[in-house]
Amino acid sequence: MLGYLLKRLIQMIVVLWAVSVLVFVMMSFTGDPTYMMVPLDATEEQIEQARRLLGLHDSHLVQYWRFLSSLAQGDFGRSFVFRQPAMQLILERLPATLEIVSLAMAFALVLAIPLGVYAGANPQRAGSRAVMAGSLVGISLPGFWLGMVLIFVFAVKLQFFPSSGRGPTQEWLGLRVSFLSWEGLRHLILPALTLSVGTLAILMRIIRAEMMEVMKQDFIKFARAKGTDRRGVLFKHGLKNALIPLITVFGLMLGDLIAFATLTETIFAWPGIGKLLVDSIYRGDRPVIVVYLMFVAFMFVVVNFIVDMLYALVDPRIKIK
């Protein structure tokens, strides 16, 4: 177990290093961000001064070396724009993103599991066909379009929910969260819904496909021969087996939602990390982009690790080595 953890840790460091190199190489092609920082009427001298201040006058190799050596001291670099540690910017905005992503995933799972089980267990029924057709629509709808439609219907016309922003937040376990107040919750619902639709559709289709496969197995027929009721057959014997392949996909989708809720956060002016990424790209705020992408890579590595642990937990045949 200890050896396994060590192996995973080394793996993670390699991944993070590779990501940092990739991001730095890409950055070197995107031009000089100094011009984004200085006023339009800045003189050559002022521009040169700003460049020196930001550390952009050195070669890319030197810049990369400086980045790595400060990283070794736990310094992830400072934002050009905010003059704050880049990591702090991300961590400040992370709770907001985690909040809508959690709610979106909860929406998606609560609907995807029963719908997927139903469609997988009765593939011939009209209801299942309707569910499948609906899921195709769900996959095809672009998130930004859905977000705008939801705003138009529920915020503008019906005025059930606010159209943008995060609303009031409370302190909870040291994090700023919205879901504790009714007003905050109202702000949460539309972005979470927008974010959940595509995930819901994909999860549902996977659960259905897995259920169809599992329902053909001998142990399902044996469970029926034991006199197990339909619920027990579907949920105890069927679903748990269908969940094994789902765990991987779920992990990847979760990471994806957290990292790239960008569009949804932009449409709803939700102050999460996705919006931070977009803003940083517009402003050429390189340190933030680098740290952001490394953070995303780190998160995926962690999610993958958790997925492996869950495998071992659900499937007794798998041992962690």
Partner 1 sequence: MTLPPSRPGTARTDAPSPLLSVRGLKTHFHTFGGVVKAVDGVDFDLAPGEILGLVGESGGGKSMIGFSIMGLIDAPGRIEAGEIRFEGQDLLTLDEAGMRKVRGKRIGMIFQDPMTALNPLYTIGNQLEEMLRLHTGLPAAARRARCIEMLRDVGISQPEERLGNYPHQFSGGMRQRVVIAIAMIAGPRLLIADEPTTALDVTIQAQLLRLMKRQVEQTRASLILITHDLAAVSQMADRVVVLYCGRIVERGPTSQLIRGPAHHYTRGLLDSIPHEDRSQRRLHQIPGSVPNIRKLPPGCAFAPRCRAAQPLCREVEPVLTEFAPGQAAACHFPLEAKL
Residues that bind partner 1 (CB under 8 A): 124, 217-219, 221-230, 232, 236-237, 240-241, 314-317
> The tokens of 104 are what?
């979106």
Q: What tokens does 46 get? A: 């002022």
Minimum separation from the CB atom of position 141 to partner 1 (A): 34
CB of 113: closest distance to partner 1 in angstroms?
Answer: 17
Provide the 10 A C-beta neighbour count for residue 54: 17
Beta-ladder partners of 172? 175
Closest CA to 135 of 155, 108, 156: 108
How far apart are alpha carbons 9 and 129 in whole angstroms?
Answer: 45
The residue among 98 and 314 lying less far from partner 1, judged by its C-beta, is 314
Nearer to partner 1, 152 or 219 (CB): 219
Least CB distance to partner 1 at residue 211 (A):
14
Integer Cα distance of 174 and 25 in angstroms: 37
CB of 125 to partner 1, least distance (A): 11
Q: Which of 265, 254, 269 is nearest to 306 (CA)?
A: 254
Cβ closer to partner 1: 199 or 241?
241
| Nearest distance from C-beta of residue 224 to partner 1, angstroms | 6
> What is the CA angle 24-30-31, rounded to 5?
110
Taking the least distance from each CB to partner 1, the nearer of 114 and 232 is: 232
96 and 264 Cβ atoms separated by less than 8 Å = no
Residue whose CB is less far from partner 1, 237 or 275 = 237
DSSP element (H, E) containing 16:
helix 2-28
When the beta carbons of 44 and 218 are compared against partner 1, the nearer one is 218
List residues bridging with 177 in a β-sheet.
Answer: 170
Give residues with Cβ within 8 angstroms of 122, minimum separation 6. 128
- The amino acid at residue 296 is V
Q: Which is nearer to partner 1, 97 or 128 (CB)?
A: 128
Quote the least distance from Cβ 114 to partner 1, whole Å: 20
Shortest distance, CB of residue 236 to partner 1, whole angstroms? 8
For residue 242, which phi and psi values (nearest 5 degrees)?
-70, -25
Q: How far is the CB of 217 from partner 1 (least distance, A)?
A: 6
The nearer residue to partner 1, 90 or 233, going by C-beta atoms, is 233
Cβ pair 172, 96 in contact under 8 A: no
For the chain, how big is the Rg over CA atoms in Å? 24
